[in-house]
Structure 1
Amino acid sequence: MFCTFALSYFAELSDIYAMTTIAHLHIEVINIILCDESISFKDIMSLAFSCKKFYNLLTTDNAFWRKKFYQRWPYLREEYDEHLRLENKSFLEQVKAGVKCKKELWHYLSLMCIHQRFGKLADFDVDFTHFHSLFDPDKSASFMNYYFFVNELTNFLTDPPMKSDFRLTLCIKKLFLYLQRYRLKKKMHEFLNYPEKQQILEKAAFILAQWYQPQKCMSYLYVSTSLQKIAEQVLECLRKENPAHSIFSISEEQLFLWADNNIDDNHWNSIEGRQIIESLCKVLYNLDFRKAIYKFGCRRYILQYSYIDCVLQDKIGTTIILATIYHSVARRLGIRCDIIFHKPNMDYLLCWRAKYHTTNLKEKECFCIDFRRDEETVSTNYCPTINSAKYGINEYTKESPVKVMTYMNIDLYLKSEPKVFIRQSYQELRSLINQIHL
């Protein structure tokens, strides 16, 4: 009898809900349904045009379109969100622009595939003139188009269809590389034209890491956040050892200023400066940062040792990238130290002095931050610290950020195996090296 009653009850509920349409649902429920990844832009606009209520509802909800926008173009968030927030643009309009870019991109790719089929691809893309006009702001295109194109190509390369055409994949890789090189050349020129105070070394290292890893989706936010976390650990270590240090009375605004700008002198006296450097060395030692060791005659070179994003993750790197990490963390704590190339030792050193603009000879004394612990000494209890006598440096000339960037690039280029690069990009690499030297 209970079963009969239950069946009758559920039958009545079914009749009631059968009469309910989507128009009767609460707006939050509708929003949840439409935010599902399976619901396309076309589906949403079809619903919007079904009645005035939905049209007014769906075309004015910027938060909803923001969610759908990043659902469709997830790689745009870091580069793109700040511009939209500052300009207060409608995300619905950005969705429309993104759909238009997608159509233009796939139309251009179809033309590339046709030319490749007839063996004319080399002539077709000599300068990418038509495609360039679709995303270059200098040619009246929206700056946002570049990010749409990169995101679309990245989606294909990271998750290609099961039956993707070989010619199409080849064209996509070629176009993606062209876009990346274009953007990085602009970033390079911007960096070289910054005042020296804003030529931050980790930015230089990141640009070069992007150049040599063109198909990797990278984030400068990861690099800057990783360095900031190390700086915070140094502060924790310093607080335990020297709780009365003056840095703990510094404002957050000052710390942010040091993070984004090179500093011309130390902000501490000799004793407090040493205390920060000793804490820095101790933290990076405990985090197991160390120099990579290469065996003579071994052709296999792991390029990851020269990419700052990989070194921050794996803790093993070349001396110049390790020096950059030490330098970048020290700068965030008000410490100026300089990377120099030490010819007698044929390696990079990190030099520090208590004061740089002083007539006091004692404060002008040079020291080396001995950071070059390698994999062979990893099991020892030796912790790198300040060393004055080991390298015999009494005076040195500071290397500019652009010069250090040149060192980074030459280090990467000379140690890279030829097969790392595709043939078409060789001349571009040569031109980039020339630009850096200039």
Structure 2
Amino acid sequence: MTKKITCLPEEVITMILKDKRVSIEDVVNFQTTCRKYHHIQLNNKFWEKKYYQRCPTAKKKYNKEKQEKIFNDFKIDFKEEIKLSLEYIIKIKQLQHMITVMFENNLSDSAIKILRSQLNFSLEHYLCTIAKNSMLYYFVVDELNRIISAKQLWESSCNLTSIYDLGIFFRRLKQHRVMYKTDKYMNMPKEKQLFERLFTIAIQYFQPHVSYSAIKTWLDEIAKEVLSRLKNIYPAHSIFSTPDDQFFIWRDNKIDDNYWNETEARQIMNVLEEFVFLDLKDHKLLKFDIEDKYIDFISEFVKKYLFSPVIYDNVARRLGIRCVLRRKGWLWEDVVITWKPKYDTVDMHNVEYFYIDEDSSQNYPLNIIRGRRDDIHHYPICFPSIIEWIFRTIFIDKLLKINITSYEWEISILKRLFSGERDITIKPMTVLFHAVHQNGSIILR
């Protein structure tokens, strides 16, 4: 005789509800079917599992150790987090619906002006709130992306304006997140404003699951490999008597000068240069965990631009060597590593520099251009020029080369944001409500 589900113990029902094929909505609907199910105790661990099932970005970003810390130390109420996330999704969809109704009802100009102001304020408030809460942000980003993809794939007669609106909301949310993260970066002490943090902020716009801790760990592993090679060549080097605490200080802070004398500094730099510019391209440490539709040009970026010279600079700092990244001329064809034995003055006269000639057909070391500061025009790389370089050199050029032209507008906004034109973030949705009629349909621009 077949048993009814009502005969199953609560533990078995809970196991069934944990299955990834059972959605959050299914769980809620199931609990409303009768009083017995309504009182089933679904603990925080259950809702944690449902959160990560629904939010692949957070699952990618947080490894098991981080997930345990969030659960045990941060005391996140996952049921409330899910509830809040879904409420914001509903609010955003309601705003999108209001936009459609506003134009379909042919309201007067004065009425549209009032509604436009109200919608601007409400949307910006929602997006800003979401962007400042990581758990909420990842959930909403994944949910919006899922809604947009589903509409495009399955609704042949769907409202294209609706997709367009939600797409703008999606990109605006990511821009708010970038602004929030950049503001946090700029408010950090100067010694904490490290390049790898900026790189993480930039790349997270396209791939939110990439974490700073992952990039930092990756650079740490490169530093360990360089130390291992250094020990084989220069076993008596003073760095091997350096306490661990000192390495942590170098890793987490900018340094004002070289820790070593000139001879020992050059020994480290020689080993570091050969590894980064020659061996790292085929080394296991290149297994950089970045997975989504941008993997091709991001991987190309890591291989080409992070090798020369950013990896070198960040690993050198971890080993007590101070370098300064500069750009050659006013253009950005080459980013140059400059170095001098002592930084006791600001004088850049006779400073050594080197960089890879990307157009050279030679292999390392013949593709390295070396010289002194006197025979080349160098210009400092500083915020926001670092970010401008990342977006102009990598994201804009690479995206356009692979024909992702739909991102031209969004990246132009990002360039302005990182260039300091912050007013674009105060009134960003003004671009949204310029409506024109095309073939009887309303297109929002």
TM-score by length of 2: 0.69
- Cα drift, residue 197 of structure 1: 0.7
CA contact (8 A) 1:62 1:90 kept: yes
Select 1:356's aligned residue among 323, 326, 343.
Answer: 343
Select 2:19's aligned residue among 6, 17, 36.
Answer: 36
- Cα drift, residue 72 of structure 1: 0.8
Tell me, what secondary structure is at the counterpart of 1:130?
Answer: helix
Whole-angstrom CA distance in 1 between matches of 2:153 and 2:396 = 35
Q: Does 1:408 pair with 2:400?
A: no
Whole-angstrom CA distance in 1 between matches of 2:190 and 2:147 = 39
Whole-angstrom CA distance in 1 between matches of 2:391 and 2:46 = 48
Whole-angstrom CA distance in 2 between matches of 1:348 and 1:96 = 47
Whole-angstrom CA distance in 1 between matches of 2:106 and 2:273 = 58
Deviations 1:353-411 (A, max 9, x none): 333349xx9xx97432x341425335x35267795xx2355999994742652662685
- Cα drift, residue 181 of structure 1: 1.7
Whole-angstrom CA distance in 1 between matches of 2:198 and 2:407 = 20
- Cα drift, residue 286 of structure 1: 1.4
Whole-angstrom CA distance in 1 between matches of 2:200 and 2:96 = 30
Structure 1 unmatched ranges of 5 or more: 1-14, 290-303
Give the counterpart letter for 1:171 in structure 2: D
The alpha-carbon distance between structure 1 residues 233 and 118, as it changes in their structure 2 partners (threshold 3 A), is farther
- Partner of residue 230, structure 2: 238
CA contact (8 A) 1:191 1:199 kept: yes
The alpha-carbon distance between structure 1 residues 281 and 30, as it changes in their structure 2 partners (threshold 3 A), is farther
- Partner of residue 377, structure 1: 361
Deviations 1:213-246 (A, max 9, x none): 5xx5452445434433333332333233334444
Alignment of 1:21-420 (within 5 A): 24-25=8-9, 27=11, 29-45=12-28, 50=34, 55=39, 57-58=41-42, 61-77=43-59, 78=61, 86-115=73-102, 128-137=120-129, 145-157=136-148, 160-163=152-155, 165=158, 166-209=160-203, 216-217=207-208, 219-221=210-212, 222-250=214-242, 253-284=245-276, 285-288=278-281, 310-312=300-302, 315-317=303-305, 322-343=308-329, 347-357=334-344, 366-368=351-353, 370-374=354-358, 376-378=360-362, 380=363, 382=365, 387=370, 390-393=371-374, 399=380, 401-402=382-383, 404-405=385-386, 408=389, 411-412=392-393, 416=397
Higher mean C-alpha deviation, range 422-431 or range 280-289: 422-431
The alpha-carbon distance between structure 1 residues 344 and 155, as it changes in their structure 2 partners (threshold 3 A), is closer
Whole-angstrom CA distance in 1 between matches of 2:147 and 2:265 = 50
- Cα drift, residue 104 of structure 1: 2.0
- Partner of residue 292, structure 1: none
- Cα drift, residue 108 of structure 1: 2.3
- Cα drift, residue 252 of structure 1: 5.0
The alpha-carbon distance between structure 1 residues 202 and 125, as it changes in their structure 2 partners (threshold 3 A), is farther
The alpha-carbon distance between structure 1 residues 142 and 424, as it changes in their structure 2 partners (threshold 3 A), is closer
CA contact (8 A) 1:330 1:337 kept: yes
Larger radius of gyration: 1
- Partner of residue 439, structure 2: none
- Cα drift, residue 92 of structure 1: 1.8
The alpha-carbon distance between structure 1 residues 237 and 103, as it changes in their structure 2 partners (threshold 3 A), is same
Whole-angstrom CA distance in 1 between matches of 2:232 and 2:52 = 43
Structure 2 unmatched ranges of 5 or more: 283-293, 423-445
Tell me, what secondary structure is at the counterpart of 2:372?
Answer: coil
Give the counterpart letter for 2:343 in structure 1: Y
- Cα drift, residue 281 of structure 1: 1.4
The alpha-carbon distance between structure 1 residues 57 and 434, as it changes in their structure 2 partners (threshold 3 A), is closer
Number of aligned positions between the proteins? 388
- Cα drift, residue 194 of structure 1: 2.7
The alpha-carbon distance between structure 1 residues 149 and 239, as it changes in their structure 2 partners (threshold 3 A), is same
Deviations 1:403-433 (A, max 9, x none): 6526626854997569565558756744642
- Cα drift, residue 177 of structure 1: 1.6
- Cα drift, residue 54 of structure 1: 8.0
CA contact (8 A) 1:223 1:309 kept: no
Whole-angstrom CA distance in 2 between matches of 1:101 and 1:344 = 45
Whole-angstrom CA distance in 1 between matches of 2:396 and 2:168 = 24
Tell me, what secondary structure is at the counterpart of 1:335?
Answer: coil
Deviations 1:169-195 (A, max 9, x none): 211211112112222223333333332
The alpha-carbon distance between structure 1 residues 218 and 42, as it changes in their structure 2 partners (threshold 3 A), is closer
Tell me, what secondary structure is at the counterpart of 1:39?
Answer: coil
- Cα drift, residue 208 of structure 1: 4.0
Whole-angstrom CA distance in 2 between matches of 1:161 and 1:103 = 21
Higher mean C-alpha deviation, range 225-234 or range 405-414: 405-414
Give the counterpart letter for 2:56 in structure 1: P
The alpha-carbon distance between structure 1 residues 197 and 172, as it changes in their structure 2 partners (threshold 3 A), is same
Whole-angstrom CA distance in 2 between matches of 1:309 and 1:197 = 29
- Cα drift, residue 264 of structure 1: 1.7
Two-structure CA RMSD over aligned residues (Å)? 4.6
Whole-angstrom CA distance in 1 between matches of 2:204 and 2:37 = 47
- Cα drift, residue 39 of structure 1: 1.2
Whole-angstrom CA distance in 2 between matches of 1:355 and 1:67 = 54
Deviations 1:150-179 (A, max 9, x none): 221223345654216222221121111211
Give the counterpart letter for 1:367 in structure 2: E
- Partner of residue 285, structure 2: none
Tell me, what secondary structure is at the counterpart of 1:377?
Answer: coil
CA contact (8 A) 2:89 2:143 kept: yes
Give the counterpart letter for 2:335 in structure 1: Y
CA contact (8 A) 1:22 1:30 kept: no
Give the counterpart letter for 1:316 in structure 2: K
Higher mean C-alpha deviation, range 49-58 or range 118-127: 118-127
- Cα drift, residue 201 of structure 1: 1.3
Tell me, what secondary structure is at the counterpart of 1:349?
Answer: strand
